[in-house]
Amino acid sequence: MTLQGWTLIAIYTAVILSLAKPMGLWLFAVYEGRRTWLHPLLGPVERALYRLAGIDPSAEQGWRRYTVHMLLFQVVALLLTYAVLRLQGVLPMNPRGLAGITADGAMNTAVSFTTNTNWQWYSGEAVLSNLSQMLGLTIHNFLSAATGIAIAFALFRGFARRESGTVGNFWADCTRITLYVLLPISVVYALFLIASGVPQTFASSIDVTTLEGARQTLVVGPVASQEAIKMLGTNGGGFFNANSAHPFENPTALTNLVQMLSIFSLGVGLTWTFGKAVGNPRQGWAILAAMMLLFLAGTGIAYWQEGAGNPVLHHLGVAGANMEGKEVRFGAAASALFAVVTTDASCGAVNAMHDSFTALGGLVPLFNIQLGEVIVGGVGAGIYGFLLFALLAVFVAGLMVGRTPEYVGKKIEGREVKLAVLAIAVLPLCILGETAISAVLPAGLAGPLNQGPHGFSEILYAFSSGAGNNGSAFAGLNAGTPFYNALLAVAMWIGRFFVIVPAMAIAGSLAAKKHHPEGPGSFPTTGPLWIGLLIGIILVLGGLTFLPSLALGPIADHLTMTSGKLF
Amino acid sequence: MLKDFTTAIRPALVLTALFALLLGVAYPALLTAIGQALFPAQANGSLIREQGRIVGSELIGQAFASPRYFHGRPSAAGKGYDPTASGGSNLGPASRALVARVKSDLAALGPDRHGTVPADLVTASASGLDPHISPEAAEAQVARVAAARAMSARQISGLVKQQTEMPLLGILGEPRVNVLLLNRALDRLHLAGAQAAR
């Protein structure tokens, strides 16, 4: 560990905190459907989309209609990607003549990108044509991010509206977020990436004769345009197998910093937008404070472990940090920080291989995902997931003081608490259930690369990542089999929509309620006591649920590693 | 409930098609046009050309085996530095296979090895294409390269220092040496020395 490393972490945190309000203001304008300075340019595009699709953007929808429209849109876009991947062999822009994808593989990938997970069983440079990357995947990088934010907007309206039967219009939310937030930022961002060395071409490969006279084939393509939205939309699916560790995706320490900032930028902005939407920005700051404290704790542990290095290699006379699976231009600090950011958010891009982290260094990203991806979290998904925990926290506080709980002006009653518990409980059921199945069936046991507890960690990480819609991996696991493709597709779908539907039901239920002004007996939801309670609820739920499985994986791994036992 | 469904069909179908054109085709095409116009070198892979031939990319590491060249890090990409199969070893921290590989790489260093070895020299990178090594890992190879080329170690050490890139603003990134660029500079220096001697 170095002063330089801690300085990087401090600077990162400061910049992220300073981004919350400007990003939040911008998102609030889009939430309200206000005119922005981009409207003269993009307003005609927006209107044309509505006209052609027969959409009335001012038609308010109740929570059921909003949800059904969203779901049907997901299914149609999923089928488009499935078709593009299956037909890859006969579609254009495929100079390397890559074949179509198998049914189980194409379904897994279509679900993966639709659910904003971007779990990748395949190696992009070996399997996908440029057309598949663009038409099959880039489109979902935008739409799954816009969908996540739209759901968050609907939930915000549930808190903000009084005795209302509606929560907004899904098509208007999704289109505006795409056009006025994701697209313009991605264009500028991608240009920065190109200038820094990320390829952007329709060529596919370049043959090279190396200095020693060997042949090397460089794979290129429209990388920058996908990279920008991959990070901004917390998607995380790399153009290449090595993801953001690949020098063509993430060539310099500066692009690395910008990538880490872009993962959190919209998520922290949405906390501010929430505060503004419910009429008190301090509500948003309190949520952000709880998130950032959890983020700093994870970062501290991960950097401490990775910076200290691998004791097994130290015994052999190797000095320094744990560099297995890390790039020299990033080093231990920027790799540990990236790993925490990408798993706090449900991004899943990686600039280092989490599988080769030290046992406790690798526990941090795994535990982050298991906490429900609510530490900033995926765009939209982070804040609506966090608000479910906030409802449980006011419920617990209400039990302690013996009053009906309330939160930002709404009474929280049985229906909301039941729905919140339903949404939160589905994740552990899916993660632990599917891990258990895979840890006993031969098809599951064929997956891990590593032996011993680390092999179990690979399986546990895969289902945590799938159900948490993260997409990063302990990538030694050979997941490109029908068994894992099917199980993980189920995990990703449940992890996304079995949380969204209860969250939307809560939005509808809250919107219909009267405003309940804060009184002297109300539990304050802005101060340090509240922040502490939130952190406590998140850690207790996550910890109690997953500690036994972590003991079998990373913790056993750590104890055996420090005692010198190899597997 | 049925009406919720039927009213969604047209927007879902049409908007998917339109967004596919806008985000899946127009957006990458626009960026390709701008990128190729403004930053053609970077947009095409930061290629290095020598007498019209492409000898590599500045950003992508190459395999070096000759003692006359500095060597990069162990690579898990294909058979080593294969950009069609990027990736790390994914070996866990207490893996037998990892320990065996590191031991064999340490043995191969042989006389280069004095005291402890910088971690990056015997660990596989995340991409398998890491173009860099640490200045310490380069310094550990100076004696071997100098002997193989019959050049002075001081001269080669000076070249390593000259090729070392420092962190941006003292904070961003680690001190590093691009192995391909270092080896090209080394070839040029060697050639210039040979010509001067003649």
- A279-297: pLDDT as tens digits: 999 999 999 999 999 999 9
Which helix (H) or strand (E) segment is B47 a member of? Answer: strand B47-50
Q: How far apart are CA A427 and CA A271, in angstroms?
A: 23
pLDDT band for A447, please (50, 70, 90 cuts). Answer: very high
Contacts of residue B33 in chain A, CB cutoff 8 Å? none
Burial label for A438, CB within 10 Å (0-12, 13-18, 19+), is buried
Compute the nearest-CA separation of B64 from chain A (Å). Answer: 7
pLDDT digits 0-9 by tens, A164-174:
999 999 999 99
A200 DSSP β-pair partners: A222
pLDDT mean over B8-24: 97
pLDDT of residue B115: 78
**A69 — contact with chain B (CB < 8 Å)?**
yes
**Is A438 among the domain residues?**
yes
* A61 and A166 Cβ atoms separated by less than 8 Å: yes
Backbone angles phi, psi at A237, to 5 degrees: -85, 115
SS3 B49: strand
Cβ-based neighbour number of residue A95 at 10 Å: 12
* A170 and A66 Cβ atoms separated by less than 8 Å: yes
Task: Using CB atoms, pick whichever of A8, A240, A313 lies closest to residue B171.
Answer: A8
* A382 and A374 Cβ atoms separated by less than 8 Å: yes
In Å, what is the CA distance from A105 to each residue of A128, A333, A475, A489? Answer: 12, 35, 17, 10
Q: How far apart are CA A136 and CA A138, in angstroms?
A: 6
Contacts of residue A326 in chain B, CB cutoff 8 Å? 123, 125-126
Nearest by Cα to A181 from A11, A34, A80: A34
Q: Do A123 and B87 touch (CB under 8 A)?
A: yes
Q: How far apart are CA A76 and CA A13, in angstroms?
A: 39
pLDDT mean over B58-86: 97
pLDDT of residue B2 exceeding 90, the answer is: no
Kindly report the average pLDDT of chain B as a whole number. 94
In Å, what is the CA distance from B98 to each residue of A312, A356, B120? Answer: 10, 10, 14
Determine how β-strand B47-50 pairs with β-strand B132-133.
unpaired
Task: Using CB atoms, pick whichever of B43, B60, B126 lies closest to residue A327.
Answer: B126
Determine how β-strand A410-411 pairs with β-strand A406-407.
antiparallel
pLDDT mean over B64-82: 96
Contacts of residue B80 in chain A, CB cutoff 8 Å? none
pLDDT digits 0-9 by tens, A65-104:
999 999 999 999 999 999 999 999 999 999 889 999 999 9
* B110 and A326 Cβ atoms separated by less than 8 Å: no
Q: How far apart are CA A206 and CA A107, in angstroms?
A: 31
* Residue whose tokens read 């680690």: B174
**A204 — contact with chain B (CB < 8 Å)?**
no
Determine how β-strand A215-219 pairs with β-strand A205-209.
antiparallel
Task: Using CB atoms, pick whichever of A80, A134, A197 lies closest to residue B42.
Answer: A197
Q: Do B84 and A219 touch (CB under 8 A)?
A: yes
Task: Using CB atoms, pick whichever of B36, B87, B133 lies closest to residue A328.
Answer: B133
Task: Using CB atoms, pick whichever of A72, A216, A245 lies closest to residue B5.
Answer: A72
In total, chain B counts a number of residues equal to 198
**A47 — contact with chain B (CB < 8 Å)?**
no
Q: How far apart are CA B92 and CA A353, in angstroms?
A: 10
Which residue type does A547 have? Answer: L
pLDDT mean over A103-127: 96
Tokens standing for residue A128: 């996908």
A226 Cβ neighbours under 8 A, 6+ residues apart:
A133, A134, A137, A138, A141, A239, B28
pLDDT of residue A198 exceeding 90, the answer is: yes
Which of B2, B59, B169 has the highest number of chain A CBs within 10 A, making it the mutation to test binding with A? B59
**B26 — contact with chain A (CB < 8 Å)?**
no
Q: How far apart are CA A295 and CA A268, in angstroms?
A: 12
pLDDT digits 0-9 by tens, A320-359:
999 999 999 999 999 999 999 999 999 999 999 999 999 9
**Is A433 among the domain residues?**
yes
**A352 — contact with chain B (CB < 8 Å)?**
yes
Q: How far apart are CA A492 and CA A499, in angstroms?
A: 11
pLDDT of residue B112: 58
Residues 76-135 of B with CB under 8 A from A: 77, 81-96, 98-99, 102-103, 106, 113, 115-120, 122-134
DSSP E strand boundaries for A210-332: 215-219, 318-319
B117 DSSP β-pair partners: A318
Query: In terms of residue numbers, what domain contains A428?
Result: 401-562
Task: Using CB atoms, pick whichever of B18, B43, B173 lies closest to residue A194.
Answer: B43
**Is A441 among the domain residues?**
yes
Q: What is the DSSP letter of A89?
A: G
Compute the nearest-CA separation of B114 from chain A (Å). Answer: 10
- The CA radius of gyration of chain A, in Å to the nearest whole number, is 23
pLDDT band for B87, please (50, 70, 90 cuts). Answer: very high
How many structural domains are present in chain A? 1
* A352 and A335 Cβ atoms separated by less than 8 Å: yes
A213 Cβ neighbours under 8 A, 6+ residues apart:
none
pLDDT of residue A235 exceeding 70, the answer is: yes
Q: How far apart are CA B95 and CA A75, in angstroms?
A: 42
**Is A425 among the domain residues?**
yes
DSSP H helices in chain B: 2-21, 27-38, 40-43, 96-109, 119-122, 135-139, 142-149, 153-163, 179-197
Tokens standing for residue B65: 């085996």
Q: Do B132 and A359 touch (CB under 8 A)?
A: no
pLDDT of residue A111: 98
Tokens standing for residue A371: 């906490």
pLDDT of residue B111 exceeding 70, the answer is: no
Percent of chain B with pLDDT over 70: 98
**Is A9 among the domain residues?**
no
Tokens standing for residue B103: 């031991």
Cβ-based contacts under 8 A for chains A and B: 387
DSSP E strand boundaries for A220-349: 318-319
pLDDT of residue B52: 87
pLDDT of residue A270 exceeding 90, the answer is: yes
pLDDT of residue A521: 80
pLDDT of residue A461: 98
pLDDT mean over B100-113: 84
C-alpha distance across the termini of chain B, in Å = 90
pLDDT of residue A51 exceeding 80, the answer is: yes
Tokens standing for residue B61: 């590491």
Contacts of residue A4 in chain B, CB cutoff 8 Å? 167, 170-171
- Closest residue in A to B54 (Cα) is A208
> Distance from CA of residue B187 to its chain's centroid?
19
Cβ-based neighbour number of residue A486 at 10 Å: 14
pLDDT of residue A543: 80
pLDDT of residue B110 exceeding 80, the answer is: no
pLDDT of residue A313: 95
pLDDT of residue A47: 97
- Closest residue in A to B56 (Cα) is A208
Q: Do A139 and B23 touch (CB under 8 A)?
A: yes
Task: Using CB atoms, pick whichever of A248, A318, A452 lies closest to residue B102.
Answer: A318
* B126 and B88 Cβ atoms separated by less than 8 Å: yes
Which residue type does A138 have? Answer: T
Q: Sign of the C-alpha dihedral, residues A295, A300, A301, A307?
A: positive
Q: Do B173 and A72 touch (CB under 8 A)?
A: no
Cβ-based neighbour number of residue A368 at 10 Å: 29
Residues 277-306 of A with CB under 8 A from B: none
**Is A463 among the domain residues?**
yes
More confident residue, A447 or A561: A447
**A433 — contact with chain B (CB < 8 Å)?**
no
**Is A448 among the domain residues?**
yes
* A213 and A201 Cβ atoms separated by less than 8 Å: no
Tokens standing for residue B141: 């190879």
**Is A299 among the domain residues?**
no
In Å, what is the CA distance from A401 to each residue of A283, A388, A518, A533, B95? Answer: 21, 20, 16, 14, 52
Backbone region of residue A362 per phi and psi (left: phi > 0; alpha: psi in -120 to 50; beta: other values): alpha
Virtual torsion, Cα A107, A110, A112, A115, nearest 10 deg: -120
Task: Using CB atoms, pick whichever of B5, B13, B59 lies closest to residue A76.
Answer: B13
How many CA atoms lie within 13 Å of A476's alpha carbon, on the beta-carbon side?
26
In Å, what is the CA distance from A355 to each residue of A170, A377, A540, B6, B90? Answer: 39, 22, 26, 46, 5
Q: How far apart are CA A456 and CA A556, in angstroms?
A: 10
DSSP H helices in A309-380: 311-314, 331-344, 359-370
Compute the nearest-CA separation of B168 from chain A (Å). Answer: 8
The pTM assigned to this predicted structure is 0.97
Q: How far apart are CA A213 and CA A465, in angstroms?
A: 42
Which helix (H) or strand (E) segment is A72 a member of? Answer: helix A63-86
Nearest by Cα to A393 from A382, A402, A406: A406
Percent of chain A with pLDDT over 70: 100
Q: Sign of the C-alpha dihedral, residues A430, B90, B77, A483?
A: negative
**A416 — contact with chain B (CB < 8 Å)?**
no
Percent of chain B with pLDDT over 90: 85
